[in-house]
Amino acid sequence: MTETAPSAPHFVTVGADARRIAVRTTPGGDGRPGVLWCGGFLSDMLGTKAVELAAWGAAHDRRVVRFDYSGHGESEGAFIEGTISRWAEDALAVFDRETAGPQIVVGSSMGGWIALLLARALAARGDASRLAGLVLIAPAPDFTEELVWKAMTPEIRAEVMAKGVWYRASDYGEPQPFTRALIEDGRSNLVLGAPFAVGCPVRILQGVADDTVPWQHAMKLVSCLAEDDVVVTLVKDGDHRLSRPEDIARILAAVEQIG
């Protein structure tokens, strides 16, 4: 579902270029952790999962903050100028300005990568206690390298390097642009390959029928989170979206289980 008549967002200004990032907040104050939504590549905060999460927050007096990365949805900027570093900067700015106290970060697809980078940034400055938990839906850490660059033919790689961009056909709308800047910046943000700790409970929901982010990719992440409390739910008939009512119920149950 999407919101039929969403209220207007407010904006926070981020980065040296002063880009305006659109934010919507569902008020709540029952003393339990707030929730921050981090969406996926080319997704926005009016998609099914984000809207259902906000509706759950309204029904349970839980504060839910959702936003659009620069170049996405209602935020300013051109999508083609986006990089993982830029979108992670957006997420950290929203976290800092729009949340207080412990938070459960819910990251979908690329948002799972952004959530992990947010955890890394908070730990680096001594704020790891601000994370109550992570709920990762079909998480796609390192996807620019592992799922895009490594899957490209030599001809496509040459096109990316020469022209600066390649457009991939998508089942979710317009062709998706993958830029040289996105690929090269992604390499400076890789998180897989060596053990690391986020220091909070992690709940992962992954569709076995996902043809965008294979379930084996989620298991690579699990192997890196050796020190954390990690629970993986594999949905046998689940696709990449995981937006069916039964999938939404699993996502909300994971949030409630953490806090």
Contacts of 20 (CB under 8 A, 6+ apart): 11, 12, 13, 14, 75, 76
Domain ranges of the chain: 10-140+198-258
Higher pLDDT, 226 or 183: 183
Residue 169 has a pLDDT of: 86
**pTM, to two decimals:** 0.96
Q: Which residue in the block uniquely carries the two structure tokens 């999962």?
A: 49
Catalytic residues: 109, 210, 240
Residue 170 has a pLDDT of: 81
Residue 4 has a pLDDT of: 59
Q: H helices of the chain, where? A: 48-60, 84-98, 110-124, 143, 154-163, 180-186, 215-224, 245-258
145-164 per-position pLDDT tens digit: 999 999 999 999 999 999 99
pLDDT at 52 > cutoff 70: yes
Residue 1 has a pLDDT of: 62
Residue 187 has a pLDDT of: 98
Q: What percent of the chain has pLDDT over 70?
A: 98
Residue-averaged pLDDT of the chain: 96
201-212 per-position pLDDT tens digit: 999 999 999 999
The string over 206-236, giving b where at least 16 C-beta atoms fall within 10 Å of a residue's C-beta and e elsewhere, is bbeebebbbbebbeebbebbeebebeebebe
66-81 per-position pLDDT tens digit: 999 999 999 999 999 9
pLDDT at 128 > cutoff 70: yes
Fold observed for domain 10-140+198-258: Rossmann fold (3.40.50)
26-36 per-position pLDDT tens digit: 999 879 999 99
Residue 88 has a pLDDT of: 98
* Res. 6 pLDDT band, cuts 50 70 90: confident
Average pLDDT (84-98) is: 98
